[in-house]
Chain A
């Protein structure tokens, strides 16, 4: 077993499947919780605001790898006998929610105050103000940054290899250990990441350009 053939490619694609799944799960989970974090961050209650700020600071101020270790081993120490899958998804969801929450907090706050004032003057309630007025505008402005974070997240899932989660990077490591051709194998792994991330980056850049034209 020292050639790079179909079985190896198939094994890498299996890993890719988990990379994509982990990215999607943590992006969706992080999006839902991140939205709550963003709303908490711009809440009128200063206690809620500070709690959200602390949450964001905690995840932005520590390495992703530490977060993975702490959640992965922490859950086990707390007698939660969970699958690596769940532990890893949990860690990435928490990580993504802090970053997305902060991105969206920024765009919510970048909207002119007049939008909130006009909503208030029309006696629109909180839910309508957020759902109909603030979030549609804020999320649209945030799209380039949000896509940019999705690219980071996709690449970031490679760290899950360290706790034994077999995604694309870990699959590459296993194949490389079998056939002793690290340069070839990791080159291919890198190309696969690139093929996924590059179009997303281009999409984000295009969107950013289109928006700056609209605002000019």
Chain B
């Protein structure tokens, strides 16, 4: 954790102002439910964004729209200069730039850890098995789990599985990583190992959007904290400002609730 105390120093600051992700006026409906209301968001290269808000506020939906796990009704999504339309080709080109980590890990239970990580390298990037496994081992090593490479997901703890899921996404060398409540399904003693992995990623300059209620992580790592409610981004500011001086009533109420227990 020694490293992490310097997390908000210049070494981790946003080096370039190049826009990596741009959402313009996106709207998402689930039947009659308006889940995202005209949401716009710009994320620069190297930026680390924490999205928080009450359940049902649309924060997960927002990041799931970025790699088209949810289809938007209107608005535009541009990732690394590529605009995502509804055709398979543009969806695929965006997905190749975006890595995702899920709340429930979603590892492939019938494949060994090494195959979980190397499959997409072989099938999508068309690498030979040996090449793919070299890359997979490199990223498994990076999340400190290389020794589990030949096991199956069910043989690992939740924290280990989530670190494998992070390695699996990193293998594709994405430009941005999306985290959808990555620690919510974990037992408390395993939360730290996953957050430490994420902090390490942030230190290496990865662009990240994290839906999480880990406010300690937000303070340490985020450039911006966004607060969502009812399908809109109500407030956004630097973490210090966000926690010490929230402006919106809903933000105050939300922070009051989640910080009361910390």
Chain A positions near chain B (C-beta within 8 angstroms): 112, 114-115, 117-118, 120-125, 128, 132-133, 136-137, 140
> Which residue of the partner chain, among A115, A121, A128, A136, contacts B69 with CB atoms under 8 Å?
A121
* Chain B at the A interface: SS class: loop
Give the bracket for the number of chain B residues in contact with chain A: 20 to 34
3 nearest CB pairs, A to B: A114-B106, A118-B106, A123-B95
> Which residue of the partner chain, among A114, A117, A125, A140, contacts B123 with CB atoms under 8 Å?
A125
Q: Which residue of B lies closest to A113 (CB)?
A: B106
Rounded to whole Å, the gap between the CB of B26 and the closest CB of chain A is 19
A123 and B104 contact, CB distance less than 8 A = no
Interface residues of B in 40-93 (CB under 8 A from A): 67-69, 92
Q: Is B217 an interface residue (CB 8 A)?
A: no
Q: Is B98 an interface residue (CB 8 A)?
A: yes
> Which residue of the partner chain, among A112, A115, A122, A137, contacts B120 with CB atoms under 8 Å?
A122
> Which residue of the partner chain, among B100, B110, B123, B168, contacts A136 with CB atoms under 8 Å?
B110
Cα-based distance from A17 to B108 in the complex (angstroms): 42
* B-chain residues with CB within 8 Å of residue A118 when the two chains form the complex: 100, 102, 106-108
Q: Is B112 an interface residue (CB 8 A)?
A: no
Rounded to whole Å, the gap between the CB of B140 and the closest CB of chain A is 16
Cα-based distance from A175 to B172 in the complex (angstroms): 68
B110 and A128 contact, CB distance less than 8 A = no
> Which residue of the partner chain, among A114, A117, A123, A137, contacts B110 with CB atoms under 8 Å?
A137
A124 and B123 contact, CB distance less than 8 A = yes
Q: Is B143 an interface residue (CB 8 A)?
A: no
> Which residue of the partner chain, among B100, B104, B111, contacts A121 with CB atoms under 8 Å?
B100
* A-chain residues with CB within 8 Å of residue B104 when the two chains form the complex: 112, 114
A120 and B95 contact, CB distance less than 8 A = yes
What is the count of residue pairs linking A and B with beta-carbon distances less than 8 angstroms?
60
B124 and A122 contact, CB distance less than 8 A = yes
* B-chain residues with CB within 8 Å of residue A112 when the two chains form the complex: 104, 106
Cα-based distance from A41 to B110 in the complex (angstroms): 24
A121 and B123 contact, CB distance less than 8 A = no
Chain B positions near chain A (C-beta within 8 angstroms): 67-69, 92, 95-96, 98-100, 102, 104-111, 119-120, 123-124, 168-169, 172
B168 and A122 contact, CB distance less than 8 A = yes
* B-chain residues with CB within 8 Å of residue A124 when the two chains form the complex: 119-120, 123-124
Cα-based distance from A25 to B82 in the complex (angstroms): 51
B109 and A132 contact, CB distance less than 8 A = no
Cα-based distance from A125 to B120 in the complex (angstroms): 10
* B-chain residues with CB within 8 Å of residue A137 when the two chains form the complex: 109-110
* B-chain residues with CB within 8 Å of residue A136 when the two chains form the complex: 110
User: Could you list some 23 contacts between A and B, CB below 8 A?
Assistant: A114-B104, A115-B108, A118-B100, A118-B106, A118-B108, A120-B68, A120-B69, A121-B98, A121-B100, A122-B120, A122-B124, A122-B168, A123-B95, A123-B124, A124-B124, A125-B124, A128-B119, A128-B123, A132-B108, A132-B111, A132-B119, A136-B110, A137-B109
Q: Which residue of B lies closest to A140 (CB)?
A: B110
Cα-based distance from A122 to B123 in the complex (angstroms): 10
Rounded to whole Å, the gap between the CB of B152 and the closest CB of chain A is 11
B106 and A117 contact, CB distance less than 8 A = yes
Cα-based distance from A112 to B108 in the complex (angstroms): 11
Cα-based distance from A202 to B92 in the complex (angstroms): 46
Cα-based distance from A86 to B69 in the complex (angstroms): 47
* B-chain residues with CB within 8 Å of residue A123 when the two chains form the complex: 92, 95-96, 120, 124, 172
* A-chain residues with CB within 8 Å of residue B92 when the two chains form the complex: 123, 125
Q: Which residue of A lies closest to B168 (CB)?
A: A122
* A-chain residues with CB within 8 Å of residue B68 when the two chains form the complex: 120
Cα-based distance from A121 to B124 in the complex (angstroms): 12
* A-chain residues with CB within 8 Å of residue B119 when the two chains form the complex: 122, 124, 128, 132
B110 and A122 contact, CB distance less than 8 A = no
Cα-based distance from A182 to B75 in the complex (angstroms): 77
Q: Which residue of B lies closest to A120 (CB)?
A: B69
A115 and B124 contact, CB distance less than 8 A = no
* B-chain residues with CB within 8 Å of residue A133 when the two chains form the complex: 108
Cα-based distance from A118 to B99 in the complex (angstroms): 10
Rounded to whole Å, the gap between the CB of A108 and the closest CB of chain B is 14
Rounded to whole Å, the gap between the CB of A132 and the closest CB of chain B is 6
